Amino acid sequence: MSGGEVAGILVAVFWAILVSFLAVALARLAQTLKATTKLVADVTDQAVPLLADASTAVRSAQTQIERVDAIASDVQEVTSNASALSTTVASTFGGPLVKVAAFGYGVRRALVGRRDDAPAKAPRRTVIVGRTVPAGRRKRK
């Protein structure tokens, strides 16, 4: 055997080893791709029902939001109607009730002042700039 033949055998052995390593690497890569494909298929099988459930939940939430919006608008309308009603009642009955109360107070004061058995009231004093002025001096002015 000459040196060229030995070198050819060595190159052939290295090529065989290299091809064996590449074949093992490709076989493992094929297994990894099969496992990945199976995993993606499983995730897809589980994700589709979850997405359908999520879609149903979103539709239900949208329906509830629409109901709450309708209730809120009704409450706002009732509030404005109650405000208008209270304003109307206050303007309709407020003035006359105040007048009736004032008239009743005046009548009561007039009746109390006409009683003969009622004791005479003490004269009122007026305070002017920090001092008291007797009622007699007030009448002279």
> What pLDDT tens digit does each residue of the chain (141 aa) get?
788 899 999 999 999 999 999 999 999 999 999 999 999 999 999 998 999 999 999 999 999 999 999 999 999 999 999 999 988 888 888 788 888 888 899 888 888 876 655 555 666 666 566 665 555 555 444
118: Cβ contacts below 8 Å, ≥ 6 apart: 112
**Against a cut of 0.85, is the pTM above it?**
no
